[in-house]
Structures are given as structure tokens and as C-alpha cells.
């Protein structure tokens, strides 16, 4: 499935197309999210904005930043692959992964600088997830000694949702369903039988 270049370009203003043209590498996308996109704390209620809305508003929370990054990487010919970092007693985190010269990196939006994207220096998605572990402290208790990250998902190819999400103002269908049925892997399983698990069903619609 190809990126919908015509529809995406038609949804943008001339200035927005110029800006997107400058975001031609994973590093440029990450810098844009970190430096020019405010974190969306959802003061008016929950949101799930699509890529064009993120670009236009210059505001995104973790999931919205991921969707934006996925669209721009796909535009460059890089498969839009999302990995969820799962923390049962904390906020989860969304990474958009890519590979460069056989190494794995990612782009992400976060209110915490240490949880933003990482360069492509990791041998595997597991190694990338482990790199987040020491800095994944609780946003619920604000205890700097409480590390909450439990595991990570297999990469989720967002092309399974077709192409409409690239220009959609909201992407609730992805938000509510992308992790359904996707295996997750614990970072520190007690045994091989304990390694794989699935996202808690009671939290899927939160």
C-alpha cells in the first residue's frame, strides 16, 4: 500500500507543504516534535488528532505525536510501525520505529525529554525498549525511584488501517484498537512461559 501523496498534499496549505518538505529525515521529525510542538495535556477533554491537525495546531500528546511521525515517515517510504511501551501502573508510551544501517531507532513525543525518540543505534526493538527502562519513572506517584515499564509490543503496521488516517482530523479508530490482539513481551520475565502477554482487556477502551 502506497502513501496517499495527492490526498495529503491537498489537505495542506502551501506553507504546510513547505514545512513538511523540510521534515525529510527521522531526526528532523523528532526535532520538530521536541522544539515546535507543544505537549497536549487535553485541557478540554480527550483528543486523538490526526497528522494534519497536529501539524496545524503544533500540539500533540504521545499518541498524536506518534501518528504524526508515522505519517511523515511513510511519506518518505518508511513503513509506519508503532511500538507500545506498556506500564500497568503508569501512562503507556508510543514509539514510531525505523531502521538505519541495520540498527533500530524511534521517534516519539513526550512531556519528558528522556522519553522522546532515540537514534538508530540499537540492535533490536527489545534493546530499544530497554533503553527507556531506567528513565520510565511513575507519572502517577512522581516517585523518581518507582520504575514502571513492564514490556513492549511487537511492531504494529499502521497500514492495516488503510490510508484515510493520514488526512483524517481524528483517529479514534486507531487509538482504540491498535493494540488489540498484539503480543507484548515482558522486559524481565520470570520464565519463558511468562515472557509473552496481551494488553489488559479492561484497559482497551480507556
- Cα distances (Å, whole numbers) of residue 51 to 22, 74, 122, 154, 170: 16, 12, 27, 23, 9
Query: Over 90: is that where the pLDDT of 203 sits?
Result: no
CATH of domain 5-203: 3.10.620
pLDDT tens-digit readout, 89-116? 999 999 999 999 999 999 999 999 999 9
Radius of gyration of the chain (CA): 17
- DSSP code of 186? E
pTM of full prediction above 0.85:
yes
Joined together, the cell numbers standing for residue 103 give 540498527
Q: Which residues pair with 123 in a beta bridge?
A: none
| Residues forming a β-bridge with 84 | 94
Contact 117, 75 (CB under 8 A): no
Cell numbers 516534535: residue:
33
pLDDT score of 200:
83
Amino acid at each position: 500500500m502506497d502513501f496517499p501523496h495527492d490526498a495529503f498534499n491537498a489537505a495542506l496549505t502551501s506553507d504546510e507543504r513547505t514545512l513538511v518538505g523540510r521534515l525529510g529525515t527521522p531526526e528532523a521529525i523528532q526535532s520538530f516534535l521536541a522544539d515546535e510542538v507543544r505537549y497536549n495535556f487535553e485541557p478540554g477533554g480527550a483528543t486523538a488528532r490526526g497528522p494534519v491537525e497536529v501539524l496545524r495546531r503544533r500540539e500533540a500528546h504521545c499518541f498524536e505525536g506518534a501518528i504524526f511521525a508515522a505519517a511523515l515517515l511513510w511519506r518518505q517510504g518508511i513503513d509506519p510501525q508503532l511500538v507500545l511501551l506498556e506500564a500497568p501502573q503508569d501512562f503507556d508510551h508510543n514509539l514510531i520505529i525505523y531502521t538505519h544501517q541495520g540498527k533500530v531507532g524511534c521517534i516519539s513525543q513526550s512531556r519528558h525529554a528522556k522519553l522522546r525518540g532515540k537514534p538508530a543505534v540499537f540492535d533490536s526493538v527489545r534493546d530499544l525498549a530497554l533503553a527507556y527502562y531506567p528513565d520510565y519513572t511513575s507519572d502517577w506517584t512522581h516517585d523518581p525511584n518507582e520504575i514502571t515499564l513492564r514490556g513492549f509490543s511487537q511492531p504494529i503496521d499502521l497500514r492495516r488501517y488503510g490510508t484515510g488516517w493520514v488526512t483524517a482530523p481524528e483517529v479514534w479508530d486507531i487509538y482504540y484498537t491498535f493494540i488489540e490482539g498484539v503480543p507484548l513481551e515482558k522486559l524481565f520475565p520470570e520464565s519463558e512461559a511468562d515472557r509473552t502477554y496481551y494488553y489488559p482487556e479492561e484497559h482497551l477502551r480507556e
